Amino acid sequence: MKNKVINSPIRWAGSKKKILNEMLNFFDKTSKIYVEPFLGSGVVLINLINNINEFSFEEIYVNDINSNIINFYELIKDDYEYVEKQIKKIIKKYNDFSSEELKEEFFYEIRLKYNKIDKSNKIKSIYFYFLMKAGYNGVYRENKKGEFNVPFGRKEKINFDSEGLKFIAQKLKKVNFFNYDYIEFFNILQKRNILSDAFIYFDPPYIPEEKVISEKQELYTNKNFDHNEFVNFIKKINTNKILISMSESKKADNIYKDFKKYKVDEIIRTINPKKIIKSTEILYSNYKIKKVEIK
């Protein structure tokens, strides 16, 4: 890539940041349409846009089932000044507390407010940003009631890169954001007839081991994610440009056995606040990739 990798404004455990340079080399250079159904922190999208001259994309459609992510991006796109002002305010308050106990108290106060307010309230996006920064390790996890339940991260100081966020906000002007389950998202794209020339990059929730399924899957969503159903679904999508990120495992190889496999690199994934694992990143695709190095 020509440009230096940019951080996502949303602190996110297991984000693709470390392997982005390598991964973008696998992205299709001819498609006019880019689709990313599992946006997460948005770090892949942001860096793709920052290097857009290397690609042919004219239209961009991204989605995530987590409304906080989508609402945050929509808000910085529509009302950057509000976001900057509110983030500065909340971070100053946090940083100004003289002891860890006071910071901790403030974190839980915001977490409580965040879980109570409706997602249509703009301040929820600010709380989301703050909780990801001040919470444990950038983990997003909800309990069965749908409440954010990540503990305090014991950060002494939180930094806010307002110039960086402004830069990203400006780059997002042409991005179309959606907040649906991926199946619904694809139904919408299908109806608009925009999938045939699309390059689709999938980074779905990773595959947990049998014995700890419920605990691990809480990380991204409180709904279970069925990889077999997902594979059956994507096989029916009418495009031959699909790329899927996965961490290497026998189970993944079995589920994705009809796809071609490429090794990317090692990445650290945080499973839950208590467990951190390392894994090798794999890309599966439904077409043979001619990897073109981006200088």
Ligand X SMILES: C[S@@+](CC[C@H](N)C(=O)[O-])C[C@H]1O[C@@H](n2cnc3c(N)ncnc32)[C@H](O)[C@@H]1O
Asked whether position 44 contacts ligand X by CB under 6 A, the answer is yes
Asked whether position 15 contacts ligand X by CB under 6 A, the answer is yes
**Coil, strand or helix at 59:** strand
| Per-residue interface string for the shown chain with ligand X, residues 203-242, x marking contact by CB under 6 A | xxx--------------xx---x-----------------
Q: Which residue among 41, 71, 125, 270 contacts ligand X (CB under 6 A)?
A: 41
Say if CB 57 and CB 31 are below 8 A apart. yes
Q: Give the type of residue at 175.
A: V
215 exposure class (CB count in 10 Å sphere: 0-12, 13-18, 19+): middle
Q: Which residue among 19, 35, 43, 62 contacts ligand X (CB under 6 A)?
A: 43
Listed ranges 36-44, 100-108, 128-136, 255-263: which one lies at the site for ligand X (CB under 6 A): 36-44
| Per-residue interface string for the shown chain with ligand X, residues 53-92, x marking contact by CB under 6 A | ----------xxxx--------------------------
Question: Between helices 67-78 and 123-134, what is the axis angle to 10°?
Answer: 120
Say if CB 52 and CB 24 are below 8 A apart. no
- Residue 183: CB atoms within 10 Å: 11
Q: Which residue among 1, 6, 11, 16 contacts ligand X (CB under 6 A)?
A: 16
Say if CB 292 and CB 257 are below 8 A apart. no
Least spacing, CB of residue 281 vs ligand X, in Å: 11
- Residue 130: CB atoms within 10 Å: 23
Least spacing, CB of residue 85 vs ligand X, in Å: 26
> Can you give the binding site for ligand X, defined by CB under 6 A?
12, 15-16, 37-38, 40-41, 43-44, 63-66, 181-182, 203-205, 220-221, 225
